[in-house]
Structure 1
Amino acid sequence: MSTAQDKPLNILFAAKQERWAQYEQPLKTAFDAFGLIAHLATDIAPEEVDYIVYAPNSPVQDFSVFPELKAVLNLWAGVEDVVGNRTLTAPLCRMVDPSLTDGMVEWVTGHVLRHHLGMDSHILGQDGVWRAGIVPPLAQDRKVVVLGLGELGLACARSLAALKFDVHGWSRSKKEIQGVTHHTEVDNALAVAEIIVLLLPLTPETTNLLDARRLGVLPEGAVIINPGRGPLIDDDALLAALATGHVAHATLDVFRQEPLPKGHPFWAHPNVTVTPHIASETRAVSASRVIAENIRRSENGLPLLHVVDRTAGY
């Protein structure tokens, strides 16, 4: 894994300050392991920067000041907050990390099972009432739909299929996945979704994908699980569907504004579960290896991995 270098690389860490404490040592360790001689810092003269390790909420927003920039390596899976930046002409690589994928699979599988088995009635119903006789169907008789079959959606669909759920999926491009029924039309997928998992990227086409009309396509009493992006759902339309019972429950990990404001109606709604954007947290050690591998590839003349398609937006 050695890399031929005639001088140390200058790598700018551009993220919020608290992230530097988490990533400084893991990145240095990963660079050493991949044979990279690098100067990693949060403040480097722009004309000397070779690569940027980046979070879109960083103060760095004008990339035109980095004349030697070879690539921007995103710390997040989502790139919607940077992909449209016209000053960024160097390659942009999104984070695809096995640990990130594993975390998402575990979170999604846990919440699908929670709703499939009706765990809340027992966990929250410790009131002396013996609730016998209510038996959920077997997984094979429960239709779960995954919208978005990219890296994360594909892994979740396969995990749910392995548990014998009747898994359906939708993505813009046709996918052949063993144990998963692929739909070419969003409405056809929604129409069978007893439990729906949203793992789409945020693009102009997917913003408010679940609006009032599409929520109405869902079967009565459907459950929504959203660890993807907050704006995939029209919040007001979701609250209206919850009020009528057409949507039985929404488990939401992502929101239009984060942290979710204290007065937001999701907090107090009895049929909404809020989790604080934890479904697929980037882990510093494994993410640092992904970044180091990509820089090593670039320095050895190999194609970068996980380069964002600017036209598609992901």
Structure 2
Amino acid sequence: MTANVLFAGRADGWPTYEPLLKAELARRGVEADLRTGFAPEDVDYIVYAPSGPVSDFTPFTRLKAVLSMWAGVEKIVPVVPASVPLTRMVDSGLEQGMTEWVVGHTLRYHLGMDTHIRGLNGRWHRHVPPLAKDRHVTVLGLGALGTAAAKALAALGFQVSGWSRTQKEIEGITCHAGPEGLKAALRQAEIVILLLPDTPATENTLNAETLALLPKGAKVINPGRGPLIDDAALLAALDSGQVGHATLDVFRVEPLPPEHPYWAHPNVTVTPHIASETRESTAAEVIAENIRRAEAGEPLLHLVDRSLGY
């Protein structure tokens, strides 16, 4: 039986995704009709992005699954019916891209590279950084992306701690969980990296109280979600010197408005949501594999737990 697959991502992504998805489905022996338009009642699977054409799922009466092209699902969970399985995007390209960005900015802070990039203004000022083994780095969020970044940093020799809402065991990483675990993880975090999902439970994870737990002058790196940080509290911590610098890739409002104080703050680096991106070639592999699994009655990969919001 042929599975009808509706591509409901951005229109400009279709020319790239079409041949990749068709090839990956064929490689797995899945008979599928892949299009950008069907009668809703005939659709079995939706390859979905909120930026695409579908906003109302009510007419899709025989859906077997919605396969998100995005890693974050906070905008997707509220609109996809609870009765329809929903998966989020976790793929090797997304992990690799995020790991490279996180490691790059961690090393930038660790080595004090900004001092030399901005220039010493004629002063021969030698500051030799510690070795990685003497630097504490904490990763908040130990899902696929957080785990990949934490392992890469541990492989470079950093003392890496991680925190998650539920207890994890990851070789080479000191894992914490729960409210007290968050405090323990932050107290030694010379560099803290946020890779948590955006849920009501994670909003303002870094706030006035938790920022005060950091060692004075700690660095903050946020490629996760904008609402993870209380912006006013972070700005106050930057002004007081409690936080030495912040590199922020995600924000509550994007694009970040020109008048936002982050742009002008001397101790903030803004990057325009580029830490990682879904790569079409590796995303197509994950999407095709989930369609194969659904057709074969096997468990789906990266199924969203709606009670947790990710």
Is TM more than 0.5 here?
yes
Q: Residue type of the partner of 2:20?
A: P
Aligned counterpart, 2:132: 139
Are the counterparts in 2 of residues 13 and 41 from structure 1 also a CA contact under 8 Å? yes
SS of residue in 2 equivalent to 1:243: helix
SS of residue in 2 equivalent to 1:31: helix
Change (3 A) 1:149 1:76: same
Counterpart CA distance in 1 for 2:235 and 2:16 is: 37
Counterpart CA distance in 2 for 1:163 and 1:253 is: 23
The 5 A counterparts of 1:40-189 are 40-85=34-79, 87-125=81-119, 127-132=121-126, 134-184=127-177, 185-189=181-185
Counterpart CA distance in 2 for 1:288 and 1:86 is: 21
Q: Give 2:9's match in structure 1, choosing from 15, 39, 44.
A: 15
Counterpart CA distance in 2 for 1:29 and 1:263 is: 46
Q: Residue type of the partner of 2:159?
A: D
Q: Residue type of the partner of 1:173?
A: T
Q: CA deviation at 1:88?
A: 4.5
SS of residue in 2 equivalent to 1:149: coil
Counterpart CA distance in 1 for 2:255 and 2:33 is: 34
Q: CA deviation at 1:34?
A: 2.2
Aligned counterpart, 2:18: 24
Q: CA deviation at 1:190?
A: 1.0
Q: CA deviation at 1:178?
A: 2.1
Aligned counterpart, 1:3: none
Counterpart CA distance in 2 for 1:239 and 1:68 is: 49
Aligned counterpart, 2:275: 279
TM-score, normalisation: structure 2:
0.95
1:20-47 CA-to-partner distances (Å, cap 9, x unmatched) read: 2332222222222222232222221100
Are the counterparts in 1 of residues 11 and 52 from structure 2 also a CA contact under 8 Å? no
Counterpart CA distance in 2 for 1:177 and 1:303 is: 24
Is residue 250 of structure 2 the alignment partner of residue 257 of structure 1?
A: no
Change (3 A) 1:247 1:210: same
Change (3 A) 1:258 1:24: farther
Question: Sequence identity of aligned pairs in percent?
Answer: 62
Counterpart CA distance in 2 for 1:80 and 1:96 is: 15
Q: Residue type of the partner of 1:90?
A: V
Q: Give 1:201's match in structure 2, choosing from 163, 187, 197.
A: 197
Are the counterparts in 1 of residues 163 and 175 from structure 2 also a CA contact under 8 Å? yes
Q: CA deviation at 1:118?
A: 0.2
Can you give the 5+ residue segments of structure 1 that lack an aligned partner in the other structure? 1-5
Counterpart CA distance in 2 for 1:278 and 1:27 is: 24
SS of residue in 2 equivalent to 1:12: strand
Q: Residue type of the partner of 1:308?
A: V
Aligned counterpart, 1:240: 236
Counterpart CA distance in 2 for 1:256 and 1:300 is: 40
Counterpart CA distance in 1 for 2:296 and 2:217 is: 54
Is residue 210 of structure 2 the alignment partner of residue 217 of structure 1?
A: no
SS of residue in 1 equivalent to 2:281: helix
Q: CA deviation at 1:86?
A: 5.9
C-alpha root-mean-square deviation of aligned residues, in Å?
Answer: 1.4
Are the counterparts in 1 of residues 80 and 86 from structure 2 also a CA contact under 8 Å? no
Can you give the 5+ residue segments of structure 2 that lack an aligned partner in the other structure? none
TM-score, normalisation: structure 1:
0.94
Counterpart CA distance in 1 for 2:119 and 2:87 is: 47
Q: Residue type of the partner of 1:111?
A: H
